[in-house]
Structure 1
Amino acid sequence: MSIYKFCKDIERKTMSPAKKAMAKNDYFAFYVGRPLSYLLTVPFVKTNITPNQISYLSIIPLIVGFIIMIFTTDFVVLLLAWFLFFLWNLLDGVDGNL
């Protein structure tokens, strides 16, 4: 099965029509975050990793992002913190997909 079909299957299983209609109000999450979380879900589907373990794993980029935000004012490093927050958000979607 191709990755695209696998991601579509995950979307079909996790997004009811009502949930999909409500999620369309947040354009960035619906068109960027959700599809990326489906891609990140693919490697975890065939493993014994539980959604709770993904949640615990997602705490790491969140804490590192906060530490970076507290101790720096460098723009490039702040972009790294933003990316870590985005990764945390994606991992939150992954645990919901599992």
Structure 2
Amino acid sequence: MPRYDLVDTNRHGTRCAGEVAADANNSICAVGVAFEASVGGVRMLDGDVTDAVEARSLALNPQHIDIYSASWGPDDDGKTVDGPGELATRAFVEGIKNS
């Protein structure tokens, strides 16, 4: 779950999850692209985020995961591009192959 603070530091992944799994016919606004999906949160952004931390987070309970979202990364300054490291990439691949 997100850690709420005055500047909403860790809100992006929560918003992305809502866009994926928002209930159909919810009388509010959105319908998620996978509206019958369940959402699980893994807190990994409150300390040093390393390739190993990302990989451990992505490998947690893969039997319950149908959709992976990499909704974190560097601030968007228009010139910085980053992606998952070697261990996190391997965790994504294993999660996909073993689902």
TM beyond 0.5:
no
Larger RCO (CA under 8 A, 6+ residues apart) = 1
TM-score, length of structure 1 as denominator length: 0.32
TM-score, length of structure 2 as denominator length: 0.32
Q: Which one has a larger percent helix, Structure 1 or Structure 2?
A: 1
